[in-house]
Amino acid sequence: MVIDSAMIWEWVIKSVAILIFCTAGFAYTTLYERKVLARMQVRWGPNRAGPRGILQPVADGIKLIFKEELIPAKADKLIFVIAPVITVIPALIITGVVPWGPDITIGGRTIHLYLANINVAVLYIMSITSISVYGITLAGWSSNNKYATLGGLRSTAQMISYELALGLAFVGPILLAGSMSLQDIVAAQAKSVPFILLQPLGAVIYMIAVIAEVNRAPFDMPEAEQELTAGYHTEYSGMKFALFFMAEYIKMIAVSTIGATLFLGGYLGPFLNVAPWLGPVYLIGKVAILLYGLIWLRATLPRIRYDRLMAFGWKVLFPLALLNVVLTAAGITLFGGK
Amino acid sequence: MTEKQTIELGGMNHLFSERALTGETMVLNMGPQHPSTHGVLRLVLELDGEIVQNVVPDIGFLHTGIEKNMEAKTYQKAEVMTDRMDYMNTIGNNLAYCLAVEKLCELEVPARAQAIRVILTELQRIASHLIWMGTSALDLAAMSVFLYAMREREMIMNIFELVSGQRMMTTYIRPGGLWRDVPVEFEAAVREFIEILPRRVDEYESLLTNNPLFKERTVGIGIISAEECIRWGITGPVLRGSGKAYDLRKARPYSGYEQYDFDIPTATGGDINARYTVRVAEMRQSVRIIRQALDSLPFGPVRSNDRKYIPPPRSEIGTSMEALIHHFKLWTEGFTPPAGSVFTAIEGPHGEMGVFLESDGSPKPYRIHFRTPSFANLQIMSLLSRGHFVADLVGIIGSIDIVLGDCDR
């Protein structure tokens, strides 16, 4: 690979594009969620700002920017300010390893539709997602608020119980593709079928574990509004609050993107060899479907109690994920992988 | 922790254990501004980790002095205040008060008025249970049920608006009958509602009743036995959820409840799930009562004709001197019931709603006191939630269905 100035510009542009996609995606995921929830709950949802409410996220953003930022007098100020940053940055950089489409050629130059093709992409995802829980725990602790502390502690307890199952759910596609690179995993799916058909159990375990990962209902106990007012972000206001909110939604998008890549064939779809630009369209479509699933769950299910989540994580999800790994490995040994 | 703290709890120290006061367990203030204390209830919790060790409810944040205020008003005007107590059971409050006044004055209520009273109080019961179902499901974060329940409640509110012009503070039931007869659209509107409601309740049940997550949050949590309920004076669905089939509509029928055929739903678990089962079944029984009352709705006057207590109709005032005098006397001085004291009680949606009324023969009540279900039921908060998680605490608050307006008055 030749690193020239054009290459660097390409990286910069792609990074900016991913950041913009994540932040704009965050804004419109909130609208998407509110609209879908509203229709499921026989109401209209936001429909005042702009036609059909499409400017609602903008209005919300402006409101949050102009809100007063309060820091509690007895809070640990440095950590209090850093915590939202620690939460939001990992969420923004997770999607860097996800391929968006096949290579395209513009002006004689081949452009890869991904930012980085690292051979340990899955490990990278695992490690980066784990960082953001520090932000939540620290936010809860530094607020010097009992509700926030309980929320922070719960998120720690929650993380212990789902991370193992999540890691093991990744193993299935890795074994099938014989690689940890997401590009290779997508390529392997291009040759066979989307891995959800070969790994139905793995896909289900992945989806359950990521709901816990992104603190969504029914596993949203770190912020359980009804019990802990707002959990770890009780004391946050203005843009600092918005950063937590942003992290949650960007992580929703990120885990849906990764889920789509690992199990639904990523950017793959018909007519891709004719029009490579369809790749990102397919990926976004699959992400929207997974997001719909997350929203649907929120509209339907009551919250699970956190001790039950831990029991569920350790006693149900973890053994099932192990079983899945064993079955996949046995299958590959018997019938041949790749 | 090495150092020992000393915690000052503003006059509540004697209610907490030694461990809480030294900082070994955490004292957490929940409310009065908290999303799931159902109004302005303050709970001071003692937590060991997330396990509740003790709960001290602190009430009075919504105290409005209604009982005392009523002593300064004539009997007709005082009634308006009863709506403001239990805002989930406005019609029921009116009924309880009117029954007390009627007992005091020995007023006869026409059959049509009685039947309409039954229909409206049963609708009110359904509305209250719908709100309870929605909010208590919301406490467990099943948010859609809340909005669905509000949709059906809206139909009831529309019926109330139809008959009285008001959605909540109706003051439609008056001593001696009703304010006026129901409009012609009333019957169709109620029939439409009782057609729709059972199907909708089935829908809600499909969302909750057999949902494993819901069961996990409700079965075996907040258990109380029937004996314990009786010792604490607990009535209503909480008592019936513990297996005691006690319902004032059967035990001491009023407003002609004895004519209607209905069951008292009970459950034996005594836990949140049992109270849920009882309330859902009560909604279906209420529909049954409403249907019977509508089918046999008699024609006739809706107010007593005792002119010493009941103002004459508008049409008479222009033609009858006597009617004009009665009207003038009733709306300036008010009526003067005989001296004495009475107690009446009705089965409200939350439990037994009792009214004690003492008259000294003047146009204003000498003393009026309400025995409200929320006040009594709130007492068992601590008993129910000891040893459970904070997460279950909100479910328990939801399941005893308190209304702070009712509790504080």
Q: What mean pLDDT do residues A258-287 have? A: 83
- Of the partner residues A221, A225, A300, the one whose CB lies closest to the CB of residue B35: A225
Which residue, among A305, A307, A309, A315, would best test binding to B if mutated, counting the most B CBs under 10 Å from its CB?
A: A305
- Range with top average pLDDT, A95-104, A177-186, B291-300: B291-300
* Domain membership flag for residue B202: yes
Same domain, yes or no, for B90 and B33?
Answer: no
One-character DSSP codes across B125-152 = HHHHHHHHHHHHHHHTT-HHHHHHHHHH
Polymer length in residues for chain B: 409
Nearest beta carbon to residue A229 from set B35, B138, B392: B35
Shared-domain flag, residues B16 and B137: no
CB B248, CB B237: distance < 8 Å: no
Q: Using an 8 Å Cβ cutoff, are B66 and B362 in contact?
A: no
If asked whether residues B18 and B144 sit together in one domain, one would say: no
Alpha carbons A58 and A62: distance in angstroms, whole number: 6
Any domain includes A28:
no
- With beta carbons under 8 A apart, name residues in chain A contacting B141: 217-218, 220, 224-226, 301-303
Helix (H, G, I), strand (E, B) or coil at A199: coil
A304: nearest CB among B137, B213, B393: B213
User: Could you tell me if residue A17 is inside a domain?
Assistant: no
Taking CB atoms and an 8 Å cutoff, what residues of chain A touch B25?
A: none
- Alpha carbon distances (Å) from B234 to A162, A285, B226, B259: 42, 55, 9, 27
pLDDT tier for residue A177 given thresholds of 50, 70 and 90: confident
Same-domain status, B296 and B370 = yes
Of the residues B20, B35, B58, which one is the last residue of a structural domain? B58
How many beta-carbon pairs below 8 A join chains A and B? 75
Are B118 and B256 within one domain? yes
Distance from CA of A151 to the nearest CA of B (A): 11
Q: What is the domain count for chain B?
A: 2
Assess whether B96 and B185 both reside in one domain: yes
Q: Which of A6-10, A42-46, B109-113, B216-220 has the highest mean pLDDT?
A: B109-113
Q: What is the distance between the alpha carbons of residues B188 and B183, in angstroms, rounded to a whole number?
A: 10
CATH at B97: 1.10.645.10
Whether residue B251 is found in the same domain as residue B124? yes
Contacting residues of B for A220, CB less than 8 Å apart: 141
Query: Model's pTM, two decimal places?
Result: 0.85
pLDDT one digit per residue (tens) for chain B, 409 residues: 455 566 666 677 777 777 777 767 778 888 777 766 677 888 888 888 778 888 888 888 888 888 888 999 898 888 888 888 888 888 989 999 999 999 888 888 898 999 999 999 999 999 999 998 888 888 877 788 888 888 889 999 999 999 988 888 888 898 888 888 888 888 899 999 999 999 989 988 888 888 888 888 888 888 888 888 888 888 888 889 888 888 888 888 888 888 888 888 888 888 888 999 999 999 999 999 999 999 988 888 888 888 888 888 888 888 888 889 888 888 888 888 888 899 999 988 888 889 999 998 888 899 999 988 888 888 888 888 888 888 888 888 888 888 888 888 7
- Note down the domain range covering A82: 65-335
Instruction: Please count the structural domains in chain A.
Output: 1
Q: Which of A39, A219, A226 is most worth mutating to test chain B (most B CB atoms within 10 A of its CB)? A: A226
Is B325 part of any domain? no
Distance CA A101, CA A11 (A): 16
Q: Verify whether the Cβ–Cβ distance A302 to B148 is below 8 Å.
A: no
Residues of B in contact with A216 (CB under 8 A): none
Sort out which chain A residues have CB atoms less than 8 A from B41's CB and list them: none
Q: With respect to residue B273, please indicate whether it lies within any of the assigned structural domains.
A: yes
CB B350 within 8 A of CB B59: no
- Contact: B50, A304; criterion CB under 8 Å: no
pLDDT of residue A241: 84
Structure tokens at A239: 């843009």
The β-bridge partners of B371 are B354
Peptide bond before residue A46 is cis, with ω within 30 degrees of 0: no
Q: Are B198 and B157 in contact (CB under 8 A)?
A: no
B77 occurs within a structural domain: yes
**Position A115 pLDDT exceeds 80:** no
Residues of chain A that touch chain B, judged by Cβ-Cβ distance less than 8 Å: 40-43, 146-147, 150, 217-218, 220-221, 224-229, 298-308
Predicted confidence band of residue A216 (pLDDT cuts 50, 70, 90): confident
- Whether residue B326 lies inside any domain: the answer is no
Same domain, B113 and B45: no
**B140:A303 CB<8 A:** yes
Does residue B90 lie within any of the structural domains? yes
Mapped onto helix, strand or coil, the DSSP state of residue A44 is coil
Per-residue model confidence (pLDDT) at position A225:
61
The answer to whether residue A84 sits within a structural domain is yes
As to burial, measured by CB atoms within 10 angstroms (0-12 exposed, 13-18 middle, 19+ buried), residue B247 is buried
Q: What is residue B287's predicted lDDT score, i.e. its pLDDT?
A: 92
In this structure, the answer to whether residues B144 and B51 fall within a common structural domain is: no
Calculate mean pLDDT across residues A241-252: 85
User: Which amino acid does the sequence have at A313?
Assistant: G
Residue contact A227–B211, C-beta within 8 A: no
Which among B182, B121, B124 has a CA at the least distance from the CA of B153?
B124
Closest approach of B389 to chain A, Cα-based (Å): 9
The string of pLDDT tens digits covering residues A58-77 is 888 888 888 888 888 888 88
Contact A227 B390 (CB under 8 A): yes
Q: Is residue B142 part of a domain?
A: yes
Give the chain A residue nearest B389 (alpha carbons).
A305
Q: Is residue B396 part of a domain?
A: yes
Residues B100 and B236 in one domain: yes
What was the pLDDT predicted at B356? 92
Q: What pLDDT is stored for residue B209 in this prediction?
A: 85
Same domain, B117 and B237: yes
Q: What is the pLDDT of residue A156?
A: 79
Domain region containing B33: 3-58
Residues 6 or more apart from A300 whose CB is under 8 A from it? B142, B144, B207
> Does residue A42 lie within any of the structural domains?
no
- Pull the structure tokens for residue B368: 């009026």
Quote the pLDDT of residue B380.
Answer: 87
Mean pLDDT of chain A: 83
Tell me which H or E stretch contains A334: helix A318-335
Q: Is the pLDDT of residue A221 over 60?
A: yes
What are the DSSP calls for B328-347, one per residue?
HHHHHT---PPSEEEEEEEE
